[in-house]
Amino acid sequence: VLPAVYKPDLLYWEGALRRDLALAVGSDGKVLGQGAGKAVRLKGRALLPGLVNAHSHAFQRLLRGRTEYVTSGKADDTFWSWRERMYQVALSLAPEDAYVASRQAFVEMALAGITTVGEFHYLHHAPDGSPYPNPNQMALEVIRAARDVGLRIVLLRVGYARAGFSVPENPRQRRFIDKDAGAVLSAVSRLTEEVESDPMVTVGLAPHSVRAVPKSWLEAFSGHAGVVHMHVAEQPKEVEACVAEHGKRPVELLSDLGFLKPTFTAVHAVCIEPEEISLLGRGKVHVCACPTTERNLGDGVVPADRLAAAGARLCLGSDSQATIDLLKEAEALDGQLRLVRGRRAVLDPLQGEVDGLARRLFDCATRQGAESLGLKSGQLEVGAPADFFTVDLEHPLLAGLDERTLLPALLFGADARVVREAAVGGKLIVKGGVHEHAEASGREFSALARRVF
Ligand SMILES: [Zn+2]
């Protein structure tokens, strides 16, 4: 990375957009502070900290456009029929295909201003369930895709044991399943060693859900030193099964087992009761909402207002890749709550500021996502990685705005179309709205999609 000073019209610095500032980036790819000297002028641009996508299943990009209907005779079972379709795709991907599918999702993320992805990765083994010669081969293909695109990645290595409590084995889950909790933990530590020299890649542990992991596995995972992500209470059925198995609801079980601390992220947390909200808040855990996916799957609405009031920290993910646009996720986090609560600007911090709500939602899409992934990215401050994106202030979607109104307009009125540059660790990966691998990626992805379906 060449040291540089970037001089946009507006810079997001210390929590707000400001004029007449320049961002200095050192040769180590980190923010040096306010720049002096010859600057790279980014005329007509606002420069903001890179968006952090805290929950992604990259390969599910293949499902886009292919599940927006109801299988005949399955009108009462739409989530679980979506899942069967997803399994069909999951079963068809060779390691090279996982690379091609992931790269396409990651290119789209970069073009949307996302600079970090938390990839919740559960496709581990060959389709018959036998491990690859390197048991982490699939994870390494996903990591290779992120590297080629230039994204920072946290590979959240999933542990998956079973179809569910008293549920017969599902042969379509064989690729996900490890033989015991020890096998999961050793895959995590081996993978951590394999990527150790790369500052752009880190590894976390991800017990899939209380449905897919029994108590003995959870006990083995609860002391894990790094970040832990887990699907929690996405659908009523998994909550019922948890009560039947453990006599407790999912969050209560996780609390008893010692999971609820700031290194833990509960993904979804839709079907939760007030006591569970208190527990999540008291543990200062992160809750990753994926509003466009939760809407697409009919999961429900994350009670983000009550969670935040209790002390939980909120972040966002593109999850199923139904759409890849963290600006839209941020909008939907509040937008869906408005429909439920019957009022406007539900998450507004109530300080009477025109950009107060937008700044709070943007914080969820950046800093809090990074924290949930155990990273220092997500904000531009001295010593932080220079991960950022720019938007085109001359784009028709953004006409007529100033430093106070740009952010609300960006979240509530615009979308990823206004993104022009993206940089990770000071390296520009999107320039003028173009990613150098977009064309090749699209071509190979289209060929893969034709083969899979
Ligand atoms: Zn998920």
User: Cα(231) to centroid of ligand 1, in Å?
Assistant: 6
Q: If you count them, how many residues does the chain have?
A: 453
User: Cα(320) to centroid of ligand 1, in Å?
Assistant: 7
Closest listed residue to residue 356, CA positions, set 344, 347, 365, 343: 347
Distance (Å, whole) CA 261 – CA 274: 18
User: Strand order in 51-56's β-sheet?
Assistant: 51-56, 114-121, 152-159, 201-207, 228-232, 264-268, 286-289, 313-316
> What is the Cα 3 distance to its own chain's centre?
29
Q: Residues 274, 40: contact at Cβ < 8 Å?
A: no
Closest listed residue to residue 157, CA positions, set 142, 172, 147: 142
Tell me: the pLDDT tens digits for 107-136?
999 999 999 999 999 999 999 999 999 999
Distance (Å, whole) CA 193 – CA 231: 26
At which residue do the structure tokens 């108590």 appear?
Answer: 215
Tell me: the pLDDT tens digits for 34-78?
887 788 999 999 999 999 999 999 999 999 999 898 888 887 777
User: Cα(316) to centroid of ligand 1, in Å?
Assistant: 11
User: Which tokens in the block code for residue 157?
Assistant: 């290595």
Q: Residues 17, 443: contact at Cβ < 8 Å?
A: no
Distance (Å, whole) CA 431 – CA 418: 13
Distance (Å, whole) CA 62 – CA 77: 21
Question: If DSSP states are collapsed to H, E and C, what string results for the chain?
Answer: CCCEEEEEEEEEECCEEEECCCEEECCCCEEEEECCCCCEEEEEEEEEECEEEEEECHHHHHHCCCCCCCCCCCCCCHHHHHHHHHHHHHHHCCHHHHHHHHHHHHHHHHHCCEEEEEEEECCCCCCCCCCCCCCCHHHHHHHHHHHHHCCEEEEEEEECCCCCCCCCCCHHHCCCCCCCHHHHHHHHHHHHHHCCCCCCEEEEEEECCCCCCCHHHHHHHCCCCCCEEEEECCCHHHHHHHHHHHCCCHHHHHHHCCCCCCCEEEEECCCCCHHHHHHHHHCCCEEEECHHHHHHCCCCCCCHHHHHHHCCEEEECCECCCCCCHHHHHHHHHHHHHHHHCCCCCCCCCCCCCCHHHHHHHHHHCHHHHHHCCCCCCCCCCCCECCEEEEECCCHHHCCCCCCCHHHHHHHHCCHHHEEEEEECCEEEEECCECCCHHHHHHHHHHHHHHHC
User: Cα(393) to centroid of ligand 1, in Å?
Assistant: 34
User: Cα(27) to centroid of ligand 1, in Å?
Assistant: 36
Closest listed residue to residue 25, CA positions, set 49, 52, 6, 53: 6
User: Cα(348) to centroid of ligand 1, in Å?
Assistant: 27
User: Cα(17) to centroid of ligand 1, in Å?
Assistant: 32
Distance (Å, whole) CA 118 – CA 370: 9
Query: What is the predicted pLDDT for the residue at 85?
Result: 84
Q: Is 137 exposed, middle or buried (0-12, 13-18, 19+ CB in 10 A)?
A: middle
Average pLDDT, the chain: 96
Which residues carry out catalysis?
Answer: 268, 319
Q: Residues 120, 74: contact at Cβ < 8 Å?
A: no
Tens of each residue's pLDDT in the chain, 453 residues: 788 999 999 999 999 999 999 999 999 999 999 887 788 999 999 999 999 999 999 999 999 999 898 888 887 777 877 888 899 899 999 999 999 999 999 999 999 999 999 999 999 999 999 999 999 999 999 999 999 999 999 999 999 999 999 999 999 999 999 999 999 999 999 999 999 999 999 999 999 999 999 999 999 999 999 999 999 999 999 999 999 999 999 999 999 999 999 999 999 999 999 999 999 999 999 999 999 999 999 999 999 999 999 999 999 999 999 999 999 999 999 999 999 999 999 999 999 999 999 999 999 999 999 999 999 999 999 999 999 999 999 999 999 999 999 999 999 999 999 999 999 999 999 999 999 999 999 999 999 999 998
Query: What is the predicted pLDDT for the residue at 72?
Result: 81
User: Cα(57) to centroid of ligand 1, in Å?
Assistant: 6
Give the bridge partners for 25, in sequence order: 4, 31
Enter the pTM of the model. 0.97
User: Cα(305) to centroid of ligand 1, in Å?
Assistant: 21
